[in-house]
Amino acid sequence: MKKVVWLVLVVLLVFSGTIQGFAEQEEVVRLAGDNRYQTAVAISEEGWTTSEVVVLARGDGYADALAGVPLAYAYDAPILLTQTNRLNPDTLKEMERLQASKVIILGGEGAVSTEVQELLKSEGFMTERISGSNRYTTATKIAYELQQFLGVEGFDSAVMVYGQNFPDALAVASHAARLEQPIFLTNGREIHPEVEVALEELSVEEMAIIGGETVISDDILRELDGNRVAGVNRYETALAVAEHFQATGEQVYIATGLNFADAVTGGVLAAKNRSSLLLVSNRAMPESVRSYIDHHGLNMVILGGENAVPDFVWQEDEYGTIRWDGGRDDVFMGTYTGDLREGIPHGYGEWIGDEEGRSYVGQWKEGVRHGEGLYTWPNGDCYDGEYYYDTFHGYGELSLASGYLYQGYWEDGKEHGQGTASMNGFLTYEGIWDKGNWNLPETIGDRQDPSPPGVVWTLDRYDWWHGENRIEMQMLDLVSGPEAWEIVQRANMYNEAPPSGKEYVLVKFGVYVESTEDGGPLEINFTNFDVVSSDGVLYNDWLSVAGLDPRLDTEIYPGGYHEGWVPFIVRENDHPVLAMDRGEGSEVWFDLRPRRVD
């Protein structure tokens, strides 16, 4: 009898602490939904009771929406987002709440499909699509539309941003909008011919170049006789933009600099309130940004949820080093350095345990791990991913010293959702997990469907000398070809090379003996295994390999564990399978050519 089990022991470190008192906190408005589409709706609800026009852009691309901010501001219309091939239902509901009659679609059919446009028409909306052959020409078309709507001959000033990435461009859209300036895009090395024509036809005289020389070259700066506005990074560039354009509003809009959607849809609202938009990371607010806000006495409006801009980013907490005890025993004592609130970890910080090798660096909330972080155990195991109140939750990667790696989603501390497991680079399982359980086929472990590395097998066996016994075994690693021959040579210089057309295959197994009928030791060695070729022929090469260390050739008492290599010789181009206890009720087959992780 055999059964599959999954053997991964994860020790969760739970911190506890007592919070005394309640700090007075600054009131901050947050506009957020569960995703970028809902956040765009929340921004629209904040800024518009009704709107005859709505501007619609794709939610997974920034370029069209960014260039469309000045146009949306001119129409006094919000920017809403949708999927390319499906009209987002929250977006449609918001259009209905606004009592909109017209939808301006930004971008071609590859951005917002014809199906979405036809659905809008069927819902009673008039539609207009503004698009070019690419993002550069689409931005140009938007500039012409802005000129026509404003009824002007041209623009004295305009803005040029990098069109291949969003960070430097995010903060300028609100300023360009309130100053009625179009936004043009460049690839950073040259100006698109259609953009050159538009700049001349629209009589643009002054150009603000947003971003440093690494994104927009000095050649373009000289060609346009522009004025560069830039900082050392995306956060400082946004601050430089705010200082350059001098908004007069009483608030400042704060968005993540790691994604574009919230900043783009919030740009119109910021323009409407004559305010700047600044960027932060999900770990900290730069001191220069905080100083700017404090100096100007601005109220903050946070765009996006806690995943985008966590509370601790904008809250003014302490920073320091404390001793922090998880409340269990000395193994969890350590030193914490980072953000503090009420004297406990809250924000971003690093905890180093007194036990060598135990540490955590990442986000904290109320004294526990919460957000993104990296936890390392003394034996080298580590988890790098998302936490929810000290529990693996969200996307994360668990890497064990044994070679096991899980990459995927978690819920309440267990693998849940899409995920991939591998062992020493070989794929074990890829698919959907349910609360730590995977969907292995029922035939797994048969000759036709051999087991990959990483699966732990519980085998109820019968041994001539020790009677009934139970073991757990797992294929840990596999080496073949020249690499295997190199290991064999290194083990003992007198080991023979494989015959012509054949190669060594070394398989490492881990074996745990749970019980034997007589309580004696169980002998485990190469005689327990058989290799069968892909055409169904048993390999019977007599094989002597000296010096392999560790080698699976030993006696194991109940409660004992041993891992070691078992050597085989097979044909070079064969896809053989390996059987443990072939012909017995405990028979299980292993794949000797398993798929590697991409």
Q: What angle do CA 493, 497, 502 make, to 5 degrees?
A: 155
Residue 324 pLDDT level (bands cut at 50, 70, 90): confident
Final residue belonging to a domain, choices 248, 279, 310: 310
Q: What is the Cα–Cα distance from 581 to 459, expressed in whole angstroms?
A: 10
Determine, yes or no, domain membership for 81. yes
Residue 21 pLDDT level (bands cut at 50, 70, 90): very low
Lowest mean pLDDT among 219-233, 253-267, 532-546: 532-546
* Domain of 542, in residue numbers: 456-591
pTM: predicted TM-score of the whole model, two decimal places? 0.60
Q: What is the Cα–Cα distance from 105 to 122, expressed in whole angstroms?
A: 15
Determine, yes or no, domain membership for 573. yes
Convert 142-162 into a string of H (helix), E (strand) and C (coil): HHHHHHHHHCCCCCCEEEEEE
Q: Which residue has the tokens 């006094």?
A: 76
- Which of helix, strand or coil describes residue 115? helix
Q: For residue range 56-109, list pLDDT tens digits in order.
A: 999 998 889 999 999 999 999 999 999 999 999 999 999 999 999 999 999 999
Q: What is the Cα–Cα distance from 42 to 88, expressed in whole angstroms?
A: 14
Q: Look at residue 16 and tell me whether its pLDDT is greater than 70.
A: no
- CATH number of residue 569's parent domain: 2.60.40.1240
Positive or negative torsion for Cα 439, 445, 446, 449: positive
Residue 318 pLDDT level (bands cut at 50, 70, 90): confident
Residues of the chain by 3-state class (helix, strand, coil), percent to 5: 25, 35, 40
Q: What is the Cα–Cα distance from 325 to 95, expressed in whole angstroms?
A: 52
Phi, psi angle pair for 92, to nearest 5°: -60, -45
Determine, yes or no, domain membership for 451. no
The residue-averaged pLDDT of 261-290 equals 92
> Based on the domain organization, do 499 and 521 belong to the same domain?
yes
Q: For residue range 131-143, list pLDDT tens digits in order.
A: 999 999 999 999 9
Please report the pLDDT score of residue 237 as a whole number.
95
Q: Which residues pair with 319 in a beta bridge?
A: 339
Determine how many CB atoms are found less than 10 A away from the CB of residue 317: 20
User: Which of 231, 224, 190, 219 has its CA nearest to residue 208?
Assistant: 224
Percentage, residues of the chain above pLDDT 70: 93
Determine, yes or no, domain membership for 598. no
- CATH number of residue 336's parent domain: 2.20.110.10
Please report the pLDDT score of residue 13 as a whole number.
31
Determine, yes or no, domain membership for 116. yes
Please report the pLDDT score of residue 11 as a whole number.
30
Q: What is the Cα–Cα distance from 103 to 75, expressed in whole angstroms?
A: 11
Q: For residue range 379-422, list pLDDT tens digits in order.
A: 999 999 999 989 999 999 999 999 999 999 999 999 998 899 99
Lowest mean pLDDT among 225-239, 271-285, 324-338, 358-372: 324-338
Please report the pLDDT score of residue 544 as a whole number.
82
Contact 186, 175 (CB under 8 A): no
> Based on the domain organization, do 103 and 209 belong to the same domain?
yes
When the pLDDT of each residue in the chain is averaged and rounded to a whole number, the result is 90
Q: Show the tokens assigned to 358.
A: 């135990």
The end-to-end CA distance of the chain, in Å, is 34
- Which of helix, strand or coil describes residue 218? helix
Within 13 Å and on the Cβ side, how many CA atoms surround 255? 33
Strand order in the sheet with 206-210: 183-186, 157-162, 206-210, 227-229
Contact 479, 487 (CB under 8 A): yes
Residues in CB range of 492: below 8 A, 6 or more apart: 545, 546, 547
User: Which of 306, 252, 245 has its CA nearest to residue 277?
Assistant: 252
Q: Look at residue 255 and tell me whether its pLDDT is greater than 60.
A: yes
Q: Look at residue 483 and tell me whether its pLDDT is greater than 60.
A: yes
Q: What is the Cα–Cα distance from 401 to 261, expressed in whole angstroms?
A: 39
Contact 73, 20 (CB under 8 A): no
Q: Look at residue 5 and tell me whether its pLDDT is greater than 60.
A: no
> Based on the domain organization, do 39 and 79 belong to the same domain?
yes
The residue-averaged pLDDT of 357-378 equals 91
Q: Look at residue 327 and tell me whether its pLDDT is greater than 60.
A: no
Please report the pLDDT score of residue 251 as a whole number.
94
Q: Which helix (H) or strand (E) holds 130?
A: strand 126-130
Q: What is the Cα–Cα distance from 333 to 64, expressed in whole angstroms?
A: 52
> Based on the domain organization, do 202 and 304 belong to the same domain?
yes
What burial class does residue 33 get, using C-beta atoms within 10 Å of its C-beta: 0-12 exposed, 13-18 middle, 19+ buried?
A: middle
> Based on the domain organization, do 305 and 324 belong to the same domain?
no
Positive or negative torsion for Cα 381, 383, 389, 394: negative
Q: Show the tokens assigned to 144.
A: 């012409």
Ordered DSSP codes for 528-559: GEEEE-TTS-B----------SSBS-EEE-TT
Contact 383, 392 (CB under 8 A): yes
> Based on the domain organization, do 298 and 150 belong to the same domain?
yes
Ordered DSSP codes for 224-270: HT-EEE--SSHHHHHHHHHHHH----SEEEEEESS-SHHHHHHHHHH
Determine, yes or no, domain membership for 10. no
Q: What is the Cα–Cα distance from 492 to 274, expressed in whole angstroms?
A: 78
Bridge pairing between strands 227-229 and 206-210 = parallel
Q: Which helix (H) or strand (E) holds 39?
A: helix 36-47
Determine, yes or no, domain membership for 5. no
> Based on the domain organization, do 322 and 461 belong to the same domain?
no
Residue 142 CA to chain centroid, in angstroms?
A: 33
> Based on the domain organization, do 469 and 383 belong to the same domain?
no
Final residue belonging to a domain, choices 409, 438, 467: 438
> Based on the domain organization, do 155 and 41 belong to the same domain?
yes
> Based on the domain organization, do 90 and 206 belong to the same domain?
yes
Final residue belonging to a domain, choices 411, 438, 465: 438
**Whats the size of the chain, residue-wise?**
598
Query: Which amino acid, 579?
Result: A
Please report the pLDDT score of residue 55 as a whole number.
98
> Based on the domain organization, do 179 and 300 belong to the same domain?
yes
> Based on the domain organization, do 271 and 323 belong to the same domain?
no
Determine, yes or no, domain membership for 486. yes
Please report the pLDDT score of residue 505 as a whole number.
96
Q: Look at residue 47 and tell me whether its pLDDT is greater than 80.
A: yes
Please report the pLDDT score of residue 596 as a whole number.
87
Q: What is the Cα–Cα distance from 314 to 29, expressed in whole angstroms?
A: 11
The residue-averaged pLDDT of 470-477 equals 94
Residue 27 pLDDT level (bands cut at 50, 70, 90): low
Residue 6 pLDDT level (bands cut at 50, 70, 90): very low
Q: How many domains does the chain have?
A: 3
